[in-house]
Amino acid sequence: MTSPNFPDSARAVVIGGGIVGCSVAYHLTKLGWRDVVLLEQGRLTCGTTWHAAGLVGQLRAHQNMTRLVQYSAELYQKLEAETGQATGWKQCGSILVARTPERVTLFRRIASAARAQGVACEIVSIEEAARKYPVMRTDDLTGALWLPEDAKVNPADVTQALAKGARMGGAKIFEQTRVTAIHQKNGAATGVATTQGDIRAEVVINCAGQWAKQLGRMAGVTVPLHSAEHMYIVTGRIDGVHPDLPVLRDPDGYIYVKEEVGGLLMGGFEPVAKPWAMNGIPENFEFGMLPDDWDQFQILMENALVRLPALETAEIKTFMNGPESFTPDNNFIMGEAPELKNFFVAAGFNSIGIASGGGAGRALAEWIVQGEPTLDLWPVDIRRFARFHDNDGFLKERVSEVLGLHYMMPWPNRELMSARPLRRSPLYDRLDAQNALFGSKMGWERPNFFAPTRADARIDYSWERQNWFPYAAAEHKATREAVTVTDLTSFSKFLVQGHDAHAVLQRLCANDIAAPVGQTVYTGLLNARGTYESDLTVARLAADRFLLVTGTAQATRDADWIGRHLGEANATLADVTSAYAVIAVMGPRARDLLARLTKAPLDNDAFPFGTIREIGVGYATVLASRRTYVGELGWELYVPTEYAGGVYDALVEAGRDLGVRNAGYYAIESLRLEKGYRAWGRELTPDYNPYEAGLSFAVKLDKGDFIGRDALLALKGKPPARRLLSFVALSPDTPIAHGGELILRDGEPVGEVTSAAYGHTVGGIVALGYAATGGARVNDGWLAARFEIDIAGERVPVRASLKAPYDPAGARLKG
Ligand SMILES: Cc1cc2nc3c(=O)[nH]c(=O)nc-3n(C[C@H](O)[C@H](O)[C@H](O)COP(=O)(O)OP(=O)(O)OC[C@H]3O[C@@H](n4cnc5c(N)ncnc54)[C@H](O)[C@@H]3O)c2cc1C
């Protein structure tokens, strides 16, 4: 029956009354949007929220994800005072235990990252861990970590408190109201159809948890998530278990444990998960539970019995099996859908929706109200996915792997293995036959390195030099000393063309792209804050036609950003990624090699650095772009896909006596870091501006207006609060850095490493990272201070510089 107060319009309609929807509604009202309607098909919390365990663990892999949880913690503590609704908040701390030496190394790395991120965290002795958690067996442990600020809450109560706070701020909440369709016009959401009638809305927000995928599909929006069963048990009272007991995590045993009414709640993340609802979520799955599955739970139970001997005799009062939604990369999904304007998503919380719900709700509300996120949310940005991620077969197989990632060792360069190989370049089979070990990015199979034998084409994960170290070293060396070919086909490529193409791109790009035909320009795409939305290369192919080449991961994001700014302009954007394979020919012998296959002049006068020309290579006609990401003489060949095999074969054949060999992405990483080249998502994100990133050369304030110019004008001439620096270890034999490590200047924390690798030419770790300047000008005197990188507790002395450690003058690439 339709409620008499049911509105026919609202400024914002939030779909879903779980913790996330209630948090979004609450924060929209806090930001002054009072006309907010929240619709829940059942009753508040009836989806996944009601049966969550309620752990609030703060430290996340990415600094901004940590910030979201830190904010959740702040909010949950004060919600009761604000709303009168208790939340069950208890700051009990959490203890993590290790069963292996590798896990202890991880703990040391976590402790270092925690310092960089401002989270309280300390390594504690096993004796101390035993004191904190007396019912735990400790004789088999190798180490422990203590996070005093971690907490637990009652998820249903927090949600009710958020809902109450939202109502107090003006929001209206309607339960038993299902959204049945999304209305849209001209590519924008305009409202919803519901079981109580239609509501027109400026903004529609899909917070439908595991239902978010099907709601997305109703609207033509990709929300790639899949349900998986997630289980825990609750015991009766156990001697020695009391409400102040910290949360216990034993990740090598896949389990977490929390005190619950004098007993223990024990659940976990088994290595092979059990996907659920392959044919869709059943109707009326309200406060739904799934059947007990002791077979699936067995691995958790066995491990829990090792850690908590008291479980042997404890009464099992509850077996809770409820579905939760998981995403292809174990990060949740937020933001405005690239397919539909004014349609926002916050879903797929991978079992951290309670911890992240407060912060995610605020971040999305800010995004809605301000039109863009206020901090870098790239790890959870909906635009990191593409249409192919919505494939049911892919999702089912991927979530089976993803759930277990929570407690699996987060090895550096860890690759997911499920649902692969997916996107294959035309060179894939050739490279595979040469023992390429492929990594996966945006679904693309990309060669990481080439091994001498098939058996060696594997990654033996470790914190130190991994098995592929010598292979990547040889590829690195060949690029510096001879010539290598690399399959860069996964680069995202766009054609922007039409009468207004130039004008639109001038407004989007911070650099001046008014270049002659045949010229390429490296540029940032900035937002109004003057920070990075992307960085890419613009090649002018004709007066009104531009080829944009950008990172593999940025395809959806960049298309969305550029597409939004095309507006009414007479210009079109086409994704031509699949139309071209890309083969990089890099190294001092690159010219010699190409010259054997083309009649086109390749000397510096005819083909200078930064230009792009159509040339013949073997039997194919390709676009050759003289640029580099490795700091050597070289060309990137944009080859229409069907010719790629022939071009590759010709290069390999013609280059034998020049020492040509394949190179993979691990070599590219060490090569680019020696050259100080920045990478999107690490050094360049919406948190950093070009002055901080040291890229002012690619900003032309005097070219006319562009997005971000006003913000940069305000910053120009002032010393940036932080500065991107290159670091090189002073000794060749230090532990290996992988990114995320703490940077110290004269013993004081100043920042975090963004990227790191072993630099085979400079002979030691080479890294990039932002250091806080305290307002000082970064000059030789400032850089002469004592810099160190904390690698798993070991302070490694490094040299800091603004300039690239390798060939700072760029002589090699102009050779
Ligand atoms: C066993 C278990 C333990 C967990 N433990 C923890 C933990 O300790 N810490 C932690 O942080 N997280 C934990 N989680 C994860 C957490 O529960 C979820 O991430 C979180 O509840 C997700 O909240 P949500 O609002 O996105 O989804 P939900 O709570 O599922 O809310 C979505 C709502 O949308 C409604 N809806 C769907 N479709 C429509 C429609 N068409 N119209 C109207 N309404 C609709 C649904 O009815 C539902 O109520 C756990 C999960 C499980 C399963």
Q: Whose CA is closest to 521, among 700, 362, 747?
A: 700
pLDDT at 94 (0 to 100): 97
DSSP string computed for 708-752:
THHHHHHHTTSPPSEEEEEEEESSTTSPPP-S--EEEETTEEEEE
pLDDT at 2 (0 to 100): 72
- Closest residue by Cα to atom 46, ligand 1, is 47
Ligand 1: nearest atom to the Cα of 178: 42
- In whole angstroms, what separates CA 191 from the centre of its chain? 30
Per-residue pLDDT tens digits for 293-333:
999 999 999 999 999 999 999 999 999 999 999 999 999 99
- Closest residue by Cα to atom 16, ligand 1, is 353
pLDDT at 567 (0 to 100): 87
Per-residue pLDDT tens digits for 626-638:
999 999 999 999 9
Please give the mean pLDDT across all residues of the chain: 97
Ligand 1: nearest atom to the Cα of 22: 25
User: What percentage of the chain carries pLDDT values higher than 90?
Assistant: 97
Tokens 């700072």, located at residue: 808
pLDDT at 1 (0 to 100): 60
pLDDT at 4 (0 to 100): 81
Ligand 1: nearest atom to the Cα of 353: 19
Tokens of 109: 């790395």
Label each residue of 631-665 as H, E or C.
CCCEEEEEEEHHHHHHHHHHHHHHCHHHCCEECCH
Q: How far is the CA of 21 from the centre of ligand 1 (A)?
A: 9
Per-residue pLDDT tens digits for 733-792:
999 999 999 999 999 999 999 999 999 999 999 999 999 999 999 999 999 999 999 999
Ligand 1: nearest atom to the Cα of 215: 41
For residue 603, with 0-12 CB atoms within 10 Å meaning exposed, 13-18 middle and 19 or more buried, which class applies? Answer: exposed
Per-residue pLDDT tens digits for 92-132:
999 999 999 999 999 999 999 898 888 999 999 999 999 99
- Closest residue by Cα to atom 51, ligand 1, is 52
Dist. CA 605–CA 494, nearest whole Å? 28
- Closest residue by Cα to atom 26, ligand 1, is 209
Q: Which of 152, 182, 281, 324 to mutate to test the pocket of ligand 1 (most atoms within 8 A of CB)?
A: 324
pLDDT at 116 (0 to 100): 84
What mean pLDDT comes out for the span 705-731? Answer: 96
Per-residue pLDDT tens digits for 630-663:
999 999 999 999 999 999 999 999 999 999 999 9
What mean pLDDT comes out for the span 540-561? Answer: 98
Dist. CA 213–CA 224, nearest whole Å? 6
- Closest residue by Cα to atom 18, ligand 1, is 353
- The structure's pTM equals 0.97
Per-residue pLDDT tens digits for 279-290:
999 989 999 999
Helices (H), 379-443: 392-402, 428-433
What mean pLDDT comes out for the span 36-42? Answer: 98
pLDDT at 61 (0 to 100): 86
Q: How far is the CA of 274 from the centre of ligand 1 (A)?
A: 17
Q: Whose CA is closest to 529, among 691, 361, 316?
A: 691
Other beta carbons within 10 angstroms of residue 98's beta carbon come to 22
Whether the Cβ atoms of residue 345 and residue 337 lie closer than 8 Å to each other: yes
Ligand 1 first shell, C-beta below 6 A: 15-21, 39-42, 46-49, 51-55, 178-179, 207-211, 215, 230, 232, 267, 320, 322, 324, 347, 349, 351-355
Which CA distances in Å does 607 have to 594, 613, 648? 12, 8, 21
pLDDT at 795 (0 to 100): 97
Q: How far is the CA of 48 from the centre of ligand 1 (A)?
A: 3
Tokens 């519901």, located at residue: 194
Q: What count of residues does the chain have?
A: 815
Which CA distances in Å does 103 have to 114, 250, 404, 619? 16, 10, 16, 54
pLDDT at 575 (0 to 100): 98
Q: Is the pLDDT of residue 815 over 80?
A: no
Other beta carbons within 10 angstroms of residue 143's beta carbon come to 21
Instruction: Work out whether the CA dihedral 391, 393, 398, 400 comes out positive or negative.
Output: positive
- Closest residue by Cα to atom 22, ligand 1, is 353
Q: Which residues of 209-246 are buried (b: 16+ CB within 10 A; e: fewer)?
A: bbbbbebbeebebbbbbbbbbbbbbbbeebeebeeebb
Longest dimension (CA), the chain: 84
Q: How far is the CA of 326 from the centre of ligand 1 (A)?
A: 11
Question: If pLDDT is split at 50, 70 and 90, which confidence band does 374 have?
Answer: confident
Dist. CA 215–CA 207, nearest whole Å? 10
Q: Which of 23, 39, 46, 49 to mutate to test the pocket of ligand 1 (most atoms within 8 A of CB)?
A: 49
Ligand 1: nearest atom to the Cα of 322: 53
Give the β-pairing of 188-194 and 179-185.
antiparallel
Ligand 1: nearest atom to the Cα of 258: 8
Ligand 1: nearest atom to the Cα of 332: 19
